[in-house]
Structures are given as structure tokens and as C-alpha cells.
């Protein structure tokens, strides 16, 4: 399948839809998406028309109506859709953020002795996370990796936060079941 070029606005709206939808199979209301991406519901409705034309979204009519992402939406955002993704917790300044699930952890510049950074890809909004916040990611399901760091930057469109790593640890041996 050829990749679809989305505008940053379409990408953030589609990401919000996928994140809001992932919990259950109910259609997501335009107002919920508008709140998540900090836009007006009219703007969301207009963008949804173009996303429907690209076959990334289907509209659900009626009182329980709203929008659902199509399989193509996951491809366009390069998101693997799992029935029950493992939950990887995230804490901000010591407070759990249950609405955020860590999707991917990328370690960058690990060879640099002072500047080790982690790129954390989230499902859920990164809007409330600010530079300078203390973040704890993990433990991850398999290796029980826990990363502590300070937010160095973020990309709201792609749901990424950049951490300057303060510490990383994983138990020497995986816990026995």
C-alpha cells in the first residue's frame, strides 16, 4: 500500500481518533477529538470529510454516532493495532498518567557519555507534558526496564517526548513466574 501524506493537522486528528478509539469499540464523538487536539468541533468535522475521502475514517450515524478509524488509518500512522496491547506506565512529576500508554522507546545518542536521550512514543496526548517535567517510564513488560529522565522536548503531532535520561535500570535476571 502506498503511504498517504497527511497534513500535520490531519495527522494529529487521526492520532487522537486512534488513541481515543483504542479503548473500546464505540464510535468517537467529534467533540472528544476537538478537545484532545485543542480545535473547534467544526474544524474536526471538516477534516473528517477529507479523512473519509482518503478511506482513513468511517462515520457512524445516530445518537451513539461519531467516527471510527479504518485499518488504513493504522497503516497511515504506522501504528500496529493489537487487541490487547501491554500497558507500559508513565509518571509525570511522581503522578501516574493512566491515559498515556508508552508505545515505543527509542534510545538516541547512547554513545555520548553526558547526553543520553530517549524518544518516548505515546498513545494518548502529550499536551500536558512540559519541558523540565520529571518522567518515569516503565516497567516494560518483558525486560522490566525503567527509565527516569527530564523532558527535553516534545512533538505533539507525533505524540513523542524527548527525555534527557537521568537513570535506567532493569533487573539483572527476569523475574521468575
Instruction: Give this prediction's pTM.
Output: 0.54
- Here the CATH number for the domain that contains residue 72 is 1.10.10.10
Residue 139 preceded by cis peptide, ω within 30: yes
Same domain, 70 and 107: no
Query: Nine-digit cell at 117?
Result: 536521550
Q: Is residue 85 part of a domain?
A: no
Domain final position from 77, 98, 132: 77
Domain count, the chain: 2
Q: Is residue 83 part of a domain?
A: no
Same domain, 67 and 117: no
* C-alpha torsion 147→125→133→136, nearest 10: -20
Beta bridge partners of 58: 68
Domain final position from 54, 77, 100: 77
DSSP element (H, E) containing 47: helix 41-53
Domain final position from 77, 99, 130: 77
For residue 118, what are the domain limits? 90-169
DSSP element (H, E) containing 72: helix 71-77
Same domain, 73 and 99: no
pLDDT of residue 64: 83
Task: Give, as one character, the DSSP assignment of residue 83.
Answer: S
pLDDT in tens, the chain (177 residues): 446 788 888 888 888 888 788 655 688 999 988 988 889 999 999 999 999 999 999 988 888 889 998 888 878 877 655 555 567 888 999 998 877 778 788 877 666 656 778 888 887 778 888 999 999 988 887 778 888 999 999 888 778 888 988 888 887 765 555
pLDDT of residue 1: 44
Same domain, 162 and 128: yes
Amino acid at each position: 500500500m502506498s503511504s498517504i501524506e497527511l497534513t500535520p493537522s490531519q495527522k494529529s486528528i487521526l492520532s487522537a481518533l486512534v488513541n481515543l478509539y483504542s479503548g473500546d469499540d464505540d464510535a468517537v464523538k467529534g467533540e472528544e477529538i476537538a478537545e484532545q487536539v485543542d480545535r473547534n468541533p467544526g474544524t474536526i468535522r471538516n477534516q473528517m470529510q477529507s479523512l473519509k475521502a482518503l478511506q482513513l475514517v468511517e462515520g457512524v450515524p445516530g445518537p451513539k454516532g461519531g467516527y471510527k478509524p479504518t485499518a488504513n488509518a493504522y497503516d497511515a500512522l504506522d501504528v500496529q493495532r493489537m487487541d490487547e496491547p501491554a500497558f507500559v506506565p508513565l509518571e509525570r512529576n511522581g503522578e501516574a498518567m493512566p491515559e498515556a500508554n508508552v508505545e515505543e522507546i527509542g534510545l538516541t545518542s547512547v554513545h555520548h557519555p553526558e547526553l543520553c536521550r530517549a524518544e518516548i512514543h505515546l498513545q494518548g496526548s502529550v499536551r500536558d507534558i512540559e519541558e523540565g517535567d520529571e518522567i518515569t517510564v516503565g516497567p516494560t513488560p518483558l525486560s522490566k526496564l525503567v527509565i527516569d529522565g527530564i523532558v527535553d522536548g516534545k512533538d505533539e503531532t507525533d505524540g513523542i517526548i524527548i527525555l534527557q535520561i537521568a537513570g535506567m535500570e532493569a533487573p539483572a535476571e527476569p523475574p521468575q513466574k
